[in-house]
Each structure stands twice: as C-alpha cells, then as structure tokens.
C-alpha cells in the first residue's frame, strides 16, 4: 500500500511540473503586452500616475472652414478670457463656440488644452489631442497630438479649413510640452 501512494505522489508532481512552463510563458506574455501598451491602455488596474485623465469636449475634434491662412497653434487656456481670444484668433464664429465650450469647462478647477492645424487646402485630414502625461525627467506635461492626412485612396473636397481639438484636464501649474505625430490614413 505504501508503494502505491508513492507512485501517485510522483505522477502528481510530474503533472505540476508540466504546468510551470505554461504559467511562466503566460506571465511573460501578459508582462510584455503591458510594457508595450501601458501608455495607451486606460484600464483602471493599469493606471499609472504619469498619465493624466483627459476629458473630450462635445463637438471636438472638428473641422472649420476658413478663408484665412492660419498657422498651427498649441495653447493652454486657463480662463474664459483666454478661451474667447483663442477662438477669435482661429477664425471660429467666436460667440457661439465660446458659449458652447465655456459651458463645458470650470476654469476654477480645470485647464483647457487647444490644438489647431495650419490652414488645409483639402478636407479629410484630422487632428486629435491623444494623450497628456507627466514627463518626470523634465517635470512638464507632455501633450501628444496626432494629425492624420489622407493617402491617395481618399477623394478629398477642395475647401480651405483648419482642424481644431480641445480637451480639459484638472487644473495645474505645470509647464506643457507639445509633440505632434503625423500619420497617413487610408479611406478604404
């Protein structure tokens, strides 16, 4: 009887040993996935203190028709007056846009980040403030803006316009650093 018990224990430990490589490989895959995607994942258990939560504003990003030749802008707006001035500078029908945006922001608690493109000659391009993260090395908030242009598969309309986006974050006194990523996208 003693011999039979020993055999069962031996086969149990062999099957447990077969699971160890599978478990290690699973842990490595999950860890590698986290390291590759940690800056884009918005899962609560992966939340890091360096990525700030941004809130998109209703109606943005958007495309605005203009006849002016405007240069791209990257701004941090900390008051209603700064918002009004910014909207006027990018050729928006300022009062309507101001009322719509100002109602979504509490400047006592929040800061507005704005980005616009140069004047575009064709439609189909986009702009989006993608991410705001703390750059610990330089002690600034790094704002990542993604601007995409259509490739040859797209049939854009010839119409002068600018691209505009706004997001809000919790009020801060930190300095901001803007970085733009340019992409080409297919319409197929």
Give the span between the Cα atoms of 122 and 153, in whole angstroms.
14
- Whole-model pTM: value is 0.70
Task: Write b or e for each residue in 102-130: b if 16 or more Cβ atoms lie within 10 A of its Cβ, otherwise e.
Answer: eebbebeebbbbbbbbebbeebbbbbbbb
Give the per-residue pLDDT at 11.
Answer: 53
Residue span of the structural domain in which 11 resides: 2-37
Establish how many alpha carbons lie within 13 A of residue 176's alpha carbon, considering only the half-sphere containing its beta carbon.
Answer: 22
Check whether residue 180 and residue 144 sit in a common domain: yes
Give domain status of residue 8, yes or no.
yes
Give domain status of residue 64, yes or no.
yes
**Rounded mean pLDDT, 26-31:** 85
**Angstrom distances, CA of residue 173 to CA of 47, 55, 88, 109, 142:** 22, 18, 25, 12, 13
Check whether residue 75 and residue 153 sit in a common domain: yes
Largest Cα separation within the chain, whole Å, is 94
Give the per-residue pLDDT at 96.
Answer: 79
Report whether the peptide linkage leading into residue 61 is cis, meaning its omega lies within 30 degrees of zero. Answer: yes
- How many Cβ atoms from other residues are within 10 Å of residue 81's Cβ? 10
Give domain status of residue 48, yes or no.
no
Task: Answer whether residue 183 shows pLDDT above 60.
Answer: yes
Check whether residue 104 and residue 153 sit in a common domain: yes
Give domain status of residue 49, yes or no.
no
Check whether residue 102 and residue 165 sit in a common domain: yes
Check whether residue 141 and residue 84 sit in a common domain: yes
Residue linked to tokens 């970085």: 179
Check whether residue 15 and residue 74 sit in a common domain: no
Give domain status of residue 142, yes or no.
yes
Give domain status of residue 79, yes or no.
yes
Q: Structurally, how many domains does the chain consist of?
A: 2
Check whether residue 63 and residue 24 sit in a common domain: no
Check whether residue 9 and residue 78 sit in a common domain: no
Check whether residue 18 and residue 80 sit in a common domain: no
Check whether residue 28 and residue 74 sit in a common domain: no
Give domain status of residue 46, yes or no.
no
Are 161 and 127 a contacting pair, CB within 8 Å?
no
pLDDT digits (tens, 9 = 90+) for 114-135: 999 999 998 889 999 999 998 8
Check whether residue 177 and residue 119 sit in a common domain: yes
Give the per-residue pLDDT at 47.
Answer: 44
Beta strands 120-122 and 73-77, pairing class: unpaired
Check whether residue 10 and residue 65 sit in a common domain: no
């Amino acid at each position: 009887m003693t011999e039979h018990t020993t055999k069962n224990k031996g086969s149990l430990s062999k099957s447990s040993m077969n699971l160890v490589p599978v478990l290690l490989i699973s842990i490595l895959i999950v860890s590698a996935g986290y390291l590759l995607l940690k800056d884009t994942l918005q899962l609560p258990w992966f939340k890091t203190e360096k990525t700030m939560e941004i809130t998109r504003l209703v109606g943005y990003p958007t495309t605005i028709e203009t006849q002016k030749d405007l240069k791209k802008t990257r701004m941090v707006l900390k008051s209603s007056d700064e918002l009004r001035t910014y909207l006027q500078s990018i050729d928006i029908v300022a009062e309507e846009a101001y009322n719509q945006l100002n109602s979504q922001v509490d400047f006592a608690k929040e800061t507005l980040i704005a980005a616009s493109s140069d004047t575009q000659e064709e439609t189909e391009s986009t702009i989006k403030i993608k991410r705001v993260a703390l750059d610990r090395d330089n002690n600034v908030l790094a704002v990542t803006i993604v601007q995409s242009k259509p490739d040859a598969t797209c049939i854009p309309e010839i119409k002068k316009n600018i691209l505009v986006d706004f997001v809000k974050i919790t009020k801060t006194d930190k300095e901001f650093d803007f970085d733009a990523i340019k992409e080409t996208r297919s319409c197929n």
